Structure 1
Amino acid sequence: MTATLSTLSDNQRAILAIWYEVNASLSAYHKLVTAFGSAQQAWTAKAGAWQQLSIHHSHLKRHEEQQQTLDSINKIEAALNAKKYQLLFAEQAEFPTQLLQIFDPPPLLFCRGNAERLQQAQIAIVGSRKPTVHAQKTTFDMAQYLAQVGYVITSGLAMGVDKCAHFGALAQADPEYQGRTIGVMGTGIDVCYPNHHDHLFTQIVEQGGCLISELLPHTQPHKHTFPRRNRLVAGLGLATIVTEATIKSGSMITARLTSEQGKQVFAIPSHIDNSNAEGCHHLIREGATLIYHPQHVLDDVNVQLNTYPTQSGSRKPRQSADALPKSNTPHLNEGQQPSVASKTKVPEHLITVYEQLDWHGQDLDALLVSTELTPPQLIGQLMELELLGAISAQGGRYLRV
C-alpha cells in the first residue's frame, strides 16, 4: 500500500492551493503553471497577474482570499492524517504513469483503498446504465474472467454495466485475485454517487481495490464531471470494452477518448433490433474490434504489456513490473497465452472441447468440425463437461456456464 501523506511539501501545498482556487479547472490550472513556471510561483503571484491571463473572475476572487484556501488545505491534510483517503501528485512515483500521457493529465488524485492497483495492467469496461439482462451477465463474466488472469478492471461506478464490471472483478474465490478493480469517481472522493452504491464502494476498498477522483472533496455530481471521469477511465486502461451502449452515451465518449489515446476499443455485438446496443454496432462499423469472448481481448492486449503508447504515437516502457499480471498468469514475453480453462478446473483431456465453446452456444456439427473428434468421443466429453458443471445444453447447443 502507498503510504498516506501526513505532511505535504511546499510544492504539494501550492499544487493543492491552485487546484482549490481554480475549482479543479484543468485549463486554468495548466495555464497558470505553464505561465509562471511552477505551482509555487503561480500561487504567490498577485491577482493582477492572474487577470492578465484571462483567468475566470471566480478564480481570481478565491486567489484574493487565500485564508479560505489555507483552511481548505488544512482540512484536507487533517483528513490525510486521519487516513480517510490518500493524495497522489503527478510528481510522485506512485502516480499512474499512463495518466501522464493523456492530453489533459490531472495534477493530483485523491484515492481510497489500495493505490498499487493504479500501477497494474488495467482494462476498462463501460456501457449502458440500463443494460439488458444478457449484457449484465456478459459484463460480469468478462470482468470476472479478465480479473482471474491478472488484469485490473477499471470502470466508472455508475449503475448498470459499470456496476456489473466492478462486481465481476470482485467475485473471485482466490484471495490473490480479489479486489482487482478501480472505480473512477465523477464526484469528490468522499461523496457516494449513486447514493445506493455505498455497499459497492465499501466492498471495493475492503477487498483491495481502490477508488480515485481528481475532484476536490465534497464535490457533488454534475453533468460536466462525468466526461472528465470518462477520460480517466480511458486513460488508465490498456484498452476499453463496451458491452452495450446507446449512440448518445458516456460510454461512447470513453470509447472515443480511448481511440484518440491510441488504444484499442472492443465492442460486443447484439441483435440488430436492440436499440440499447446501437452504440456498439456503430463502434464496430467505425473500426472497433468485435468480440464475444474475453480471450479475444487477451489475444490483442497482451502484446501491449511491455510497452505503452504515448501521445506522440511512440512507445514508452512501462514504469514498473507491477503493471504486469502477477502470480501464475502467463506473460506474452514468455511466449505464452493464458489458457481459457486455467481457472475453470477443467481436466486436461477436456480442454480442447471446452475451448471451442462460448457463451452463445455451438451445435454438434460445428464442434465435430472444430475438434476433429468422432461423434462418440465428442458426445462423451460433452457429457463429462456437463457433469462437471462447466457447460450446459440448451436447444441442441452447448455453451459455457
Structure 2
Amino acid sequence: MWWLKDVWVIDPSQKISSPQNVLIQEGKVLEMVSSITEEEVLNKAQGEEVETVNGQGKFLFPGLIDVHTHLREPGQEDKEDIFSGSRAAVRGGFTTILAMANTQPVIDKRALAEFVRLQGERAGYAHVLPIGTVTKGMHGQELVEMADMKEGGVAAFSDDGKNIQNAEVMRLALEYAKLTGLAIISHCEDKDLAGDGLMRRGLASGRMGLKGIPASAESVVVARDVILAEETGGKLHLAHISTAESVELIRRAKARGVNVSAEVNPHHLILCDEDIRLTDTALKVNPPLASKEDREALIAGLCDGTIDMIATDHAPHTQAEKSRPFAEAPFGIASLETALSAVYQYLVLPGKISWERVIEAWSCLPAQRFGLSGGTLKPGTGADMVLFDPDFREVIEPASLVSKARNTPFLGKTLQGFPVMVWVEGRLVQKNRVVLQPEH
C-alpha cells in the first residue's frame, strides 16, 4: 500500500485542488481524505507493508495523457521506438500516450495496430494506444476497415503528417467513423497553400529569407472540416492548432454545437516565429511557430476552453537529420520529457494559465474525449498518477534524456518543476527522475 501524506491534489474530474491524504492499494486509488491517522492507515492495510511518501510542497494529479505522440515504430526505430518512447513518457509525467500512425509501414491494418499495442504492453511503462490511419497507405483515397481496426485496439483515426485533401473522402471518414464511436483527427494543412514552406510566413520569414507557410494553410482546412463535421454529425478532433483564425473558427463551431475538439502543442504556447534561428533546427516544426499574436490567441483559447487539450506532438528525429541545414532538416520537436516542465515554467509560474487548467487539458479532458481510462483519481480507478515537485530544477542535458532523440529547444537550459514520482496502475515506474525497471 502507498500512503501519500499531506499532498496537494489537483483532480479537475472531481473539482479537487486541496491538501489530501491518498491511499493506493492493489493498483487502485483506495481512498482520498483530508486527514487520517497512522493507525487508521495500518488498519486499512490489513498487514500489507505501507510505503509512505511525504507530499508536503508537492502536487499529485492524474497521469498525463498525450493524444499526439510519434513513436516511429515500426520502421524508423533509429529515431525512436515504443520502448524508448514509453520510457520518455513516464519520465515526463505521461501515463498514457496515443501513437500516431505515420510509421513505416503505416498503421492501416488491424495486425499492425495490435503490434503497436502489444509492444507497449511488453515495454511495461506508459499505456501505449495505437492510432490507425484514416485511409489505406495514407494515400487519402480509400478508407481503412474502421470497425476491424477498432477491434484491434485503435483509439482514433488520423492521417497525421498528411492532410486529407479530398473533401469527399474526409466527409465519408467522418460518416463511417460514427459506427465506431471514435474520432477522426485532422492534420489541417492545405498542401497547395503550404507548398515547400519552411516556417510561418511573416516578417520573421522575410527577414531570414525563408519561404513561408501562410496561416491560411491551416485555417482553410479547419473551416472545411468543422463544416463537414457539422453536416455529418461526426466526431472531429483538430490536431496542433496554431493560428488565431483557427481558434475563432473552432469557437464559432462549438457555439453551433459541432462535435469538435482541438489540441495545442506546448511549443506553440511558449515560442513564436521570432525565436527561430537558422542555426537551430529544433524550432523547425509543422505547423510552424506562429506570430506573437497567434500565440496569445492560443493561450486565450486554451484558457476559455475553445481549445480543449494540450498534446506534445513528440516528433523524434536523429541528430544527423536535425544537423542538416535549416531548409533540409525535418520538421519536429522531441518533447515528452520536457513538455510539462516547460509549460509549468513559462505559462503557469507567470500566471498565464492556471495549474488546474493544465491538468484538466492534459489528463481529464483527453480521457473523456477519447474514451480512455485514467484522467481521474476517483477511488476505485487505476492509480495512474504523478507526484510533481514545483521546486525541482534540472539542466536538460543529452546524457540525461531517455528518448533516443535530442531535438529539443531546451537542451542546455534549466527548467523548474518536474515529475519526481510516477505510477502506472499503482506500479512505481519513475522515482527522482530515474525510470525504473518494469515489473512483468
Normalization by structure 2: what TM-score? 0.25
More helix by share: 1
Q: Which has the higher contact order (CA 8 A, sep 6+)?
A: 2
Quick check: which has more Rg, 1 or 2? 1
Normalization by structure 1: what TM-score? 0.26
